[in-house]
Amino acid sequence: MRFLCRPAVGTGFVVVSLLATAGPALAAETASSEIVIIREGDTVSEDLYATGVRIIIEGTVEGDLIAFAAEEVVISGVVTGSVLAIAPSVTIGGDIGESVRVSSGNLSLSGSVGVDLVAAAFSVDLDSGSEIGGDALVWALEMKSGGTIGAGLEGSQRTLELAGNIEGDVDVSVNRLTVSGPLEVVGDLGYRSPSEAEGLGQAAVGGVVARMTPVPPNIRVRALGLLARFLVVLGLTSTALLVGWGWPKRTRLAGERARAQTLRAFGYGAVVVLSPLLLTGVAAIVAGLAPTAASLPLLAIFAPLIVATAGVVLVLSLVAGVPAVLAAGRALPTDLGLFGAILAGSVLVGVVWLIPILGWIVPLLVLPIGLGAWLLSFREGQEGQTG
């Protein structure tokens, strides 16, 4: 077996296995690089835990694959076990022996899955050549299904296009259901939607076709809100890993400041987060004290400055939480290394964020602590250079 990759960027991905599986861990191969490639003809004779910018499986993995990528996971080879993939884009054109668990922006399946599929994504495309041995459980904004599903199809989608073969029941909640081609459903075709399905004349249904009353809006909104938060956590975690890869020393130092000087970091960061409001207050005071003729020119000067400051704070918020989640990961009893601690801390913070009411406290703490920790790390670095 050979890995084709650029220089390694961090420690192993063992923490993912601990979070994703409840059973005892067996021997496994670990790969952590910018690009991880298992070439065609190569074989990994055990489980593979991989993290990087891109993960490409063209060969064979004789076990489970656990993959976390900042850009994409592409599987055109064979995985004899199950697949857990988290990435903005996941493409499966090969053969998976057991189950597939995916969280991504876009999921494309044209290969085969031996057991079942569970996916949460913005868009899901099950190609006409795809085969799923068991159930498919999918939460997505847009979904197309044209292949074979060996059992039932369940989940929630905003738009759903159905064709192909479904050997069990269909039980979905959709805004719009369209039968886009010849469709055979062995069981019942049940859908919860505000409108009638289109193209039902192309469907051969062994059971009954039943349209049900839509779920109350507040329940749908909460479900979509949780999905949106989950996808935000996924995106921010990918960003955090990229920041750690690009600036490992600076990230470690900022994480140490967030853990050792939490209150001080929070104070510094709060000033940055509130800076647009502070500038707005200053502008209001100055405009109020200035003569009437000068108020409008002063506001014309302050307005772009306030907007620019708010934009800078918004951009910084994308990476602000990295030191905070790193500090949370470092607080765990096991030393997970830089990338393991970032991932574990992101999962921990993300889980808390998903809790109703309590979750809103998370950004109020993570953003200022993270921003303050970055400022303290740069200040410490400058003082060290001066000394």
* pLDDT for position 188: 96
Distances, alpha carbon 221 to alpha carbons 177, 216, 224, in Å: 19, 9, 5
**Are the C-beta atoms of 12 and 43 separated by less than 8 Å?**
no
Q: Look up residue 381 and give its amino acid.
A: G
| Region 176-180 average pLDDT | 95
Q: Give pTM, 2 decimals.
A: 0.56
**In this model, does residue 258 exceed pLDDT 90?**
no
The answer to whether residues 91 and 73 touch, using CB atoms and an 8 Å cutoff, is yes
User: Buried (b) or exposed (e) across 155-186, using 16+ Cβ within 10 A?
Assistant: bbbeebbbbbbbbbbbbbbbbbbbbbeebebb
pLDDT at 5: 45
Is a pLDDT exceeding 80 seen at residue 375? yes
| DSSP, residue by residue, 330-352 | HTSSS--HHHHHHHHHHHHHHHH
Spatial contact of 309 and 275, defined as CB atoms under 8 Å apart: yes
What pLDDT sits at residue 295? 62
Confidence label for 329 from pLDDT (cuts 50, 70 and 90): confident
Q: Taking 50 as the threshold, does the pLDDT of residue 376 lie above it?
A: yes
**Confidence class for position 302, pLDDT limits 50, 70, 90:** confident
What is the predicted pLDDT for the residue at 215?
60
Which residues touch 61 (CB under 8 Å, ≥6 apart)? 38, 43, 44, 47, 48, 77, 78, 79, 80, 81
pLDDT digits 0-9 by tens, 37-72 = 999 999 999 999 998 889 999 999 999 999 988 889
Spatial separation of the C-alpha atoms in residues 158 and 40, rounded to whole Å: 38
pLDDT for the residue 141: 94
Quote the mean pLDDT of the chain: 82
Looking at residue 347, its pLDDT comes to: 82
pLDDT at 386 over 50: no
- The share of the chain scoring above pLDDT 70, in percent, equals 85
> How does pLDDT run across 111-167, given as a tens digit for each residue?
999 999 999 999 999 999 999 999 999 999 999 999 999 999 999 999 999 999 999
pLDDT confidence of residue 294: 63
Q: Does 301 have pLDDT greater than 90?
A: no
Task: Please report which confidence band the pLDDT of residue 361 belongs to, taking 50, 70 and 90 as the band edges.
Answer: confident
Phi first, then psi, for residue 261 (nearest 5°) are -130, 55
pLDDT for 156 equals 93
**Which of the residue ranges 16-20, 244-248, 273-277, 380-384 would you say has the lowest mean pLDDT?**
16-20
Q: Tell me which range, 61-65, 267-271, 282-286, is most confidently predicted by mean pLDDT.
A: 61-65
Domain residue ranges of the chain, discontinuous segments joined by +: 1-98, 219-386
pLDDT for residue 106 is more than 70: yes
Phi and psi angles of residue 143, each rounded to the nearest 5 degrees, phi first: -140, 135
The 10s digit of each residue's pLDDT in 184-193 is 999 999 999 9
Res. 2: pLDDT tops 80: no
Say if residue 6's pLDDT is above 70. Answer: no
How far apart, in whole angstroms, are the C-alpha atoms of residue 223 and residue 112?
29
SS in 3 state form for 148-208?
EECCCEEEEEEEEEEEEEECCCEEEEEEEEEEEEEEEECCCEEEECCCCCECHHHEEECCC
Dist. CA 240–CA 249, nearest whole Å? 14
